[in-house]
Amino acid sequence: MSIPSPVYDPPFNITRASHVVLTVRDLAASRRFYTDVIGLAVSAEEGDALYLRGLEEACHHSLVLKRTSGQPICERVGFRVFTEDDLVKAHAYYAAAGLRATFVDVPHQGRTLHVTDPFGTPLEFCASMEVMPRLLTQFHLHKGGRAHRLDHFQILLPDVQGACAFYMKQGFRLSEYVVTEHAETIVAAFLQRKGNPHDLVLFNQAGPRIHHFAFTTVDAHTLLHVCDVAGNLGYGLAVERGPGRHGPGHAQYVYFRDPDGHRIELFTTHYQIMDIENAPVRWDPNHPLRKQIWGLPAQRAWVEEGTCFPGVDVRPPLVQEPVVTLEKFLAARG
Ligand code: FE
């Protein structure tokens, strides 16, 4: 098995993971969860849409919640490109690749490009948003998990190897990856544009679906504090996994399920990986704890459940990679 080659001079300049657009059944309930527990700030609430940002973010939004009466879904995941010229180049690139790319108007964003990747994930690109005050030093406004900025999102999909190659042609660099037991193919890829371990994470599973989106927070104490706050406010069972420490990326983390079941991660302690000699880190497939360096495995729901994209069929993975869930781990212990 070979890993795709990096492209250091990409056809257009994606700079980072930018935002996520979700639908929710009860906007007021979601607002309470994302502000009082997670600690996001409200930039605007307009009609059936709520726009939220992290405490250090000057962009208008990194999370958009839209009211729905149907099944909650993820409408799109968003990336930033550096300039409007990059948007034009992206449009040409995707059109040449046979993908339908369309310019659209989106509130509070500059010119915006919609495209669906070949694996079914709906993407959105923009080069600018309206500017909001950074609340980084407005400490009296910091609540709950004190979410600082959107860092990455994780997509579950059937063909990680193929999607990894697709995104690396656009300049994403592989920071870490996990291979199958006999190393035939990549089953988890950690891809980055902004110089830390990931903007886009791809995991082998039925999909495409979004597994989670992740915000940074300030320290490990806050990861414990946010669990206490969640419990006090009636969200104790929404704490799905952690606090703990990941293997790949090394982050300390805690995962929540929001009132509609969408999964959000708060984490800290990423590292810098941008120099040209930084080789991708391969995780030993025979390491018994290859996905984390201590603690119990993730429960089955964390491994298998995610949020669907609109109108996109969920297909089984090309590779059946056995995952040791918490349930299997405890059953094997007896
Ligand atoms: Fe994550």
Task: Residue 68: give its domain's CATH number.
Answer: 3.10.180.10
Q: What is the pLDDT of residue 2?
A: 84
Q: 212 in a domain, yes or no?
A: yes
CA 138 to ligand 1 center in whole angstroms? 26
Q: What is the pLDDT of residue 288?
A: 57
CA 92 to ligand 1 center in whole angstroms? 31
CA 253 to ligand 1 center in whole angstroms? 8
Q: 1 in a domain, yes or no?
A: no
- What are the tens digits of pLDDT across the range 160-207? 999 999 999 999 999 999 988 776 889 999 999 999 999 999 999 999
CA 209 to ligand 1 center in whole angstroms? 14
**Which residue range forms the structural domain that includes residue 225?**
14-131+142-332
Cα–Cα distance list, 212 to 10, 84, 261, 307 (Å): 27, 28, 10, 8
Phi/psi of residue 294, each to 5°? -155, 165
CA 63 to ligand 1 center in whole angstroms? 16
Alpha helices in the chain (DSSP H): 27-32, 84-96, 160-168, 220-232, 300-304, 326-333
CA 154 to ligand 1 center in whole angstroms? 6
Residue entry with tokens 């009296």: 140
CA 96 to ligand 1 center in whole angstroms? 32
| pLDDT class of 287 with cuts at 50, 70, 90 | low
| Residue 320 pLDDT exceeds 90 | no
CA 106 to ligand 1 center in whole angstroms? 26
Cα–Cα distance list, 11 to 57, 68, 117 (Å): 27, 37, 16
Look at 43 and 288; give whichever has higher pLDDT.
Answer: 43
Which of 70-79, 148-157, 276-285 has the lowest average pLDDT? 276-285
Look at 286 and 95; give whichever has higher pLDDT.
Answer: 95
Q: Write down the pTM of the prediction.
A: 0.96
Measured from the Cβ of residue 110, the count of other Cβ atoms closer than 10 Å reads 12
Q: What is the pLDDT of residue 291?
A: 64
Q: 9 in a domain, yes or no?
A: no
CA 47 to ligand 1 center in whole angstroms? 31
| Residue 293 pLDDT exceeds 80 | no
CA 69 to ligand 1 center in whole angstroms? 28
Q: 8 in a domain, yes or no?
A: no
Q: 2 in a domain, yes or no?
A: no
Number of separate domains in the chain: 1
- What are the tens digits of pLDDT across the range 22-67? 999 999 999 999 999 999 999 999 999 999 999 999 999 999 999 9
Phi/psi of residue 252, each to 5°? -85, 140
Percent of the chain clearing pLDDT 70 (strictly above)? 98
Q: 250 in a domain, yes or no?
A: yes
Q: Which residue pairs from 159-162 have beta carbons closer than 8 angstroms and sit at least 24 positions apart in sequence?
A: 159/119, 159/317, 159/318, 160/185, 160/186, 160/187, 160/188, 160/189, 160/202, 160/203, 160/204, 161/185, 161/186, 162/118, 162/119
